[in-house]
Structure 1
Amino acid sequence: MYDRPISAAGSQGPHDEHTTRAGFVRRASGGALGLALLGGVRLDGAAAATLRSRSDVRHFRSRPDLRPPRLEVLRAPAAASDRYLFLSPSSGPGQRGVLILDDRGDVVWFRPTTPSTAMNFRTALYKGEPVLTWWQGKAERGLGRGVHVIVDSTYREIARLPAGAGRQSNLHEFTLTPRGTAIVTSYEVRTANLSGVGGPPSGKVIGGIVQEITIPGARVLFAWRSLNHVPIEESHVVFNGHAYDYFHVNSVDIDADGNLLVSARNTWTVYKVHRETGEVLWRLGGKRSDFQMGPGTAFAWQHDARHHDEGGLISLFDNGAAPPVAPQSRGIVVALDRRGRRARLVRQYTHPRRLLSPFMGNAQLLPNGNVVVGWGGLPYVTEFHRGGGVSFDARLPAGGQNYRAFRLPWVGHPHDAPRLVAHRASGRRLLYASWNGATEVAAWRLEAGARPDDLQTALTRPKKGFETSLPVPASGTYASAVALGPVGEELGRSTTIRL
């Protein structure tokens, strides 16, 4: 199914990718989305009013500066997870930014990046300490121009770095290594003979670049260029007159032996690359696969290739579009017989709604055997049981896109103080307490008094979601909110406000 050629009507290149993607999304949604872009959504008429409805965006009395999109939980897990959801919505209602949520869809931490777009938000280890990392910039033509950001567990920024050698930092990968370095992706434009793909003998081609760089200096330690190792003719994209994005690197993983797994969307191939010489050790999928592809193992326009089981398993997100060459997208796990060079499908994960995602997406294998699938260009996040049944399902507002979705453990201790505000609505005054990013708050203690330096406990309430409402005490002119941990320990205290 995947080996038939793509017609010129379905072709795409870096200068018409927005149009191609927009057309696909419009067809998939019955035309309601207007013009969809990777880094945001431009809307027309009634569609704009629908997508920007207040219910699609979260609002907080104590943090009016935070307006993330609402995540609607369609199916909650039977048991609470010890991991949070990590998203970086790049289009649709609400602010762009990096977003941590719990199983109920309640915000745990949100940092707006608007007008910039954030991608690839997740946890990592840097110098032995847990950190958060993401790419931030302007996403355009499926590539992007931006920087890579690292913050610590207090949410203080500790590094912000570009790609190395003065190259543009593209959005697709930012991985911290045990060496204390980073793996990032970039791209280059060269003049090449494109006659083998229906182009001119001297045309522009876009090649993928993988770099290992130092932190924070971005000095290049290793660079791999697809054009030096992968023929242009391996591409499945039909030349359309613009610069030819033949490769389109969209993930890089460090394999069990220290070499690299490089996924190229437009060749439908995962490459095993020697980390020192750059030699392509083998290809999985595509026109020149070194593995015999067993039933169900062929993939197209894929993302997020990752190794497991000492390299014996590969997981990836098989988009199957765009242009579409499959009825639906899926997360797949493939077993590799590296000696016999055979690939066997272990499991595939498809959404009950038969989603076909035109771009982006990922498949994360969890330690308990479950699999989280982010549907990229479509607004869904799904967790599957090992055997394939849906454990958790959630949806961003219409028009919402998210590059990758993860379930990850995280403990956050914000460097700033909790917030407490008083607000009157419908003739009633309430107090609202929140602490953006604090993961260990179990309850709020409200202290009140006649003087700001003489406050006494007025009440204690369990924490509810991102923001907890508290009644105004019957007496007292001043108040402060104290965040309490699981055993009642004080974690933080808001500034004192006048009631």
Structure 2
Amino acid sequence: MTTRKPGTAAGNIFVAPYNTGATVVGQTGSLILDDSGDPVWFRPLPSASLQNADFKVQTYRDPRSGRTQPVLTWWQGSIAIPPTYTNLPAGAPEPGGCYYIYDRHYRLLKTVFAHHGFFPDEHEFLLTRRATALFLASKPIPMDLTRYGGPKDGAILDSQIQEVDLATGKLLFSWDALKHLDPADSEVSASDASSSGGVWDAYHLNSIDEGPKGRLLVSSRNMWAAYEISKNTGKIRWQLGGKKSDFSFGRNADFFWQHDVRYRPGHEISMFDDGCCNQPVGAPEQKSHGLILKLDFPKHRATVARAYYHHPALFSASQGNTQGLSNGNEFIGWGQSSYYSEYAGAGNSEHAPTRNLLYDAKMPGSNISYRAFRDTWAGTPYYRPHAAARRTGPHSVVYASWNGSTRTKAWQVLAGPTPRSLSVAVGHTRRTGFETAVTTPAPGPYFQVRALDAAGKVLRTSKAVKLGGRAATR
């Protein structure tokens, strides 16, 4: 942590650590953290070539009962990261990915896949009140790219918005970028296909948001544009940014390579403006920042409502998000830069980037997370707590942990000569972190831990463990 001040919103932090080039510190996976950086829940992946993305809390509506519950959702798969994988453009999802929905007990509720031969895309997975899921999916479509300056036997990386019914998996809606967006408007040259197996990433759709009256707001990173789409007709209602923008821009309101475009109240939209890198000739590079724009529809003009800059200045070539919090604050995931931050809602400017900064943290090494979120979460694992014990001089040290439990406030330690005679409480201490060490003079040699809530009630009990040994079977 580089900054921690009063006034932050309630809740934990949700990231999915991985690395695009150097060795990842620790493991890839889905990670919930507290403000001190201590883990609350971690689901590690078995290989650094696997990643999670868009890890967050959402509301799941049961398609049969209609009941709602908070859930964890994320994408899992492999991302094309040169030079390891070069048959797709960098950042594209490789075949074999999917989306997961987990309940508060960390049990799998649903696995969601894409249709039409498209690959589930790491950029967006959105649950709706209709018991459906909206997401992005990608697939290379063979195409002669010579008219765009690319190879004759090339392909374009097409993107679809898809909506599926969570009860049946049936495809309910799809919208195809190739049918509605002219690839000639891309800010990425078709000649770049030579470095990705002949596949041109002209669009790179990277977010969807759902608005009123069947409208969708979609971001196309490589077009430098956001589009409002009518689900009923499939037509583009308006375009913001890019080569055919329906809006002009006020000072500092234009954006480049943007991510995470969202509706906000009062004709505002938010985004993470990467603003960096690989700019075409004449386009100025700018510092990455969270950005909220005010849209004046009668005048067709966009102006800056608020902005959120980092100190030191960051230049994130990809990824990132801007999340509005319930108390009016903004939480920024800095994408390809290793930071995540929280600001008071009024924001700041590039000339005063520390103003209204309440919280700032950096991931270890060069680890990054596609997005970072703050949200409230109550987890009660379906599995038991874990215990381990060892002898240190005249004392025994018992270690207690329960991956994902948010209700555990204290630990009680039991000891005895056999796994079936653990009736004597020999230690009690408050939870001090992901793993809590309890020192006791009791010789054991068998120990067991109990997780206690704020009122001292036993939530769950671990298996019995022997000093320096494994858990005993009971």
Q: Which TM-score tier does this pair reach, normalised by the shorter chain?
A: 0.7 to 0.9
1:317 corresponds in structure 2 to 272
SS of 1:402's equivalent in the other structure is coil
Measure the CA separation in 2 of the matches of 1:441 and 1:323: 48
* 2:59 is the counterpart of 1:131: no
Alignment equivalent of 2:390, drawn from 417, 423, 429: 423
* 2:218 is the counterpart of 1:255: no
Report the Cα offset of residue 456 of structure 1. 2.2
Q: Is the 8 A contact 1:212 1:220 kept in 2?
A: yes
Alignment equivalent of 1:328, drawn from 279, 287, 301: 287
2:15 corresponds in structure 1 to 87
Q: Is the 8 A contact 1:81 1:103 kept in 2?
A: no
Gapped runs of 5+ residues in structure 1?
A: 1-72
* 2:251 is the counterpart of 1:295: yes
Report the Cα offset of residue 168 of structure 1. 1.1
Residue identity in the other structure for 2:132: T
Report the Cα offset of residue 296 of structure 1. 1.3
Task: Note closer, same or farther for the CA distance 1:293–1:477 as it changes in structure 2 (3 Å cut).
Answer: same
Q: Is the 8 A contact 2:332 2:341 kept in 1?
A: yes
Task: Note closer, same or farther for the CA distance 1:467–1:186 as it changes in structure 2 (3 Å cut).
Answer: same
2:114 corresponds in structure 1 to 163
Greater CA drift, 429-438 or 237-246: 237-246
2:149 corresponds in structure 1 to 198
Q: Is the 8 A contact 1:455 1:479 kept in 2?
A: no
Measure the CA separation in 2 of the matches of 1:316 and 1:424: 54
Report the Cα offset of residue 258 of structure 1. 3.2
Cα deviations by residue, 1:345-390 (Å, 9 ceiling, x for unpaired): 0111111111000111111111212111111111111111112221
2:44 corresponds in structure 1 to 112
Measure the CA separation in 1 of the matches of 2:422 and 2:158: 66
Measure the CA separation in 1 of the matches of 2:105 and 2:135: 25
Residue identity in the other structure for 2:363: L
Cα deviations by residue, 1:130-165 (Å, 9 ceiling, x for unpaired): 110000011113111311011100001111122123
2:310 corresponds in structure 1 to 351
Measure the CA separation in 2 of the matches of 1:467 and 1:409: 21
Measure the CA separation in 1 of the matches of 2:312 and 2:421: 58
2:451 corresponds in structure 1 to 483
Residue identity in the other structure for 2:203: F
Measure the CA separation in 2 of the matches of 1:193 and 1:162: 29
1:144 corresponds in structure 2 to 93
Residue identity in the other structure for 1:441: T
SS of 2:190's equivalent in the other structure is coil
1:228 corresponds in structure 2 to 179
Q: Is the 8 A contact 1:90 1:119 kept in 2?
A: no
Task: Note closer, same or farther for the CA distance 1:336–1:308 as it changes in structure 2 (3 Å cut).
Answer: same
SS of 2:423's equivalent in the other structure is strand
Cα deviations by residue, 1:436-482 (Å, 9 ceiling, x for unpaired): 00001111111223443441222210100100000134354432111
- Aligned residues between the structures: 426
Measure the CA separation in 2 of the matches of 1:337 and 1:435: 51
* 2:260 is the counterpart of 1:304: yes
Gapped runs of 5+ residues in structure 2?
A: 62-67, 81-89, 348-355, 468-474
> RMSD of the TM alignment (CA)?
1.9
Question: Identity of aligned pairs, percent?
Answer: 37
Alignment equivalent of 2:460, drawn from 450, 474, 492: 492
Measure the CA separation in 2 of the matches of 1:356 and 1:436: 35
* 2:322 is the counterpart of 1:371: no
TM-score (norm 2): 0.86
Report the Cα offset of residue 125 of structure 1. 1.2
Greater CA drift, 160-169 or 92-101: 160-169
Greater CA drift, 447-456 or 322-331: 447-456
Measure the CA separation in 2 of the matches of 1:88 and 1:362: 13
2:437 corresponds in structure 1 to 469
* 2:30 is the counterpart of 1:98: yes
Residue identity in the other structure for 2:238: W
Q: Is the 8 A contact 2:8 2:329 kept in 1?
A: no
Measure the CA separation in 2 of the matches of 1:142 and 1:267: 16
Q: Is the 8 A contact 2:2 2:359 kept in 1?
A: yes
* 2:378 is the counterpart of 1:411: yes
1:74 corresponds in structure 2 to 2
Residue identity in the other structure for 2:377: W
Measure the CA separation in 2 of the matches of 1:195 and 1:391: 51
Measure the CA separation in 2 of the matches of 1:285 and 1:185: 21
SS of 1:401's equivalent in the other structure is coil
Measure the CA separation in 1 of the matches of 2:127 and 2:424: 47
Residue identity in the other structure for 1:442: K
Measure the CA separation in 1 of the matches of 2:42 and 2:151: 48
By percentage of residues, which structure has more helix?
A: 1
Measure the CA separation in 1 of the matches of 2:363 and 2:322: 18
